[in-house]
Amino acid sequence: MQPSRPRPDLLIVLARTDEHGLAQLAGHICYRNDPTADGGSRDAEPGAVLTPSFEPPDGIHDRYADLYVRGSVDTGGVTDDGSCWGWGHEYRPRTVDLPRAQSMVAFLRRLERQLAALDTQFGAPATFADYVARFATALGISRYAVRSTKRLVDGTRWHWLDTDDMRRWVRHHEPPEPTPWP
């Protein structure tokens, strides 16, 4: 299987949610806007983090619209070490018509083949952070981001992460009650 080509325009935006007694770590695929590139938005600022949409269905980012990687956080003693469990990746769209469903199935099959090839090469991922890194590699993604509640030094509200930083973020958020992220 050929590796995915690097996609410097794509990133995974990470977040932790705690609702209804459950906690979940999730990452959804976004892209950095380049108004001069094919698929870039002229309405958004250069470098803005945008969520892909399926309109038009033949756009360069449409296959990433509503695509997530997620793991449940052990808040109730499901695992011995308090780590994430139930890892997976999935689409979470609001609506799906036939062209979108066909596109999603084709892309998920390709992604599954990429992940299986990585598992054959490196073995099964041992942690959720390993799984997220594997998912990103299969998609050609090497950047991650976490939204900040306040404006940062670079003028954005984003903490930019590499793979090592993503691993630290996951470890930080796996405990049932994490401390605030910097």
**DSSP assignment of the chain:** -PPPPP-TTEEEEEEEEEETTEEEEEEEEEEE--TTSTT--SSS-TT-EE----SSTTSTTGGGTTEEEEEEE-SSSSSSS---EEEEEEE--S---HHHHHHHHHHHHHHHHHHHHHHHHH-S-SSHHHHHHHHHHHHT---EEEE-SS--TTSSSEEEE-HHHHHHHHHHH-SSSPPPP-
The model's pLDDT over 64-119, given as tens digits with 9 standing for 90+, comes to 999 999 999 877 766 667 778 889 999 999 889 998 999 999 999 999 999 999 99
The model's pLDDT over 133-143, given as tens digits with 9 standing for 90+, comes to 999 999 999 99
CB proximity list for 22: less than 8 A, separation 6 or greater: 72, 73, 75
Which of 50-59, 101-110, 172-181 is modeled with the greatest confidence? 101-110
The CA R_g of the chain, rounded to the nearest whole Å, is: 17
Q: Is the pLDDT of residue 3 over 70?
A: no
The model's pLDDT over 147-165, given as tens digits with 9 standing for 90+, comes to 999 998 888 899 999 999 9
Q: What percent of the chain has pLDDT over 70?
A: 88
Q: What percent of the chain has pLDDT over 90?
A: 59
